[in-house]
Amino acid sequence: MQKDLETKFLSDFEQNQNIAHKICRIYTTNQDAHNDLFQEITIQLWKNYSRFRGDSKFSTWMYRVALNTAISLYRKSTRTVKTQDFSDFAYKIKATTYDNTEELQLKALYKAIHKLNDIDKALIFLYLEDKPYKEISETLGITSVNARVKMNRAKEKLKNILNP
């Protein structure tokens, strides 16, 4: 039973691990912080995987857990990431390095996104991932109407940052 659960988790995680990398890229500013946050997201996903009921797609659930982990870690006043040792199972995950060379043209956008608050960052991230408002609202735990209103405000803030 545990082995089947572990195998299923590894398969789901490996197929969707870029979600975690993208969230780490938005919420961190250097590679060490990126690695720490990625590790913490992976741990939280594994710890909560047994409670994943399959009511939504794995990727939607993963977005929610990853975003909640990132937001909660970076709202702490110390701004330090406390990680847990996952060396017991890390060797089983075939991690691919996140290559951002193709995203150099997005550097200005990411820099602007870093200036937004945590919720606006999450909204913009999900919007850039072409998620429908229904899925965005489910992921963030808000109504669809509220997601649209917040999205319009976040877009306006982003426009003002990019074009002062």
pTM, two decimal places: 0.58
Same domain, 88 and 127: no
Task: Please give the mean pLDDT across all residues of the chain.
Answer: 81
Please calculate the CA angle 13-73-17 and round it to the nearest 5 degrees.
15
Dist CA 118 CA 113 (whole Å): 10
Query: Which CATH number covers residue 63?
Result: 1.10.1740.10
Tokens representing residue 149 in the block = 């209103």
| Amino acid 104: pLDDT | 64
Q: What is the identity of the amino acid at 115?
A: K
pLDDT for 149 = 92
pLDDT at residue number 122: 87
Contacts of 15 (CB under 8 A, 6+ apart): none
73 with 117, same domain? no
DSSP SS3 for 79: coil
**Helix intervals (H) in the chain:** 2-27, 31-49, 58-75, 87-90, 107-114, 118-128, 133-140, 144-162
Instruction: Quickly count: other Cβ atoms within 10 Å of residue 37's Cβ.
Output: 25
Domain-terminating residue out of 62, 82, 98: 98
Name the domain count of the chain: 2
What domain range is 63 assigned to?
1-98
pLDDT of 89 reads: 58
Name the 3-class secondary structure at 51: coil
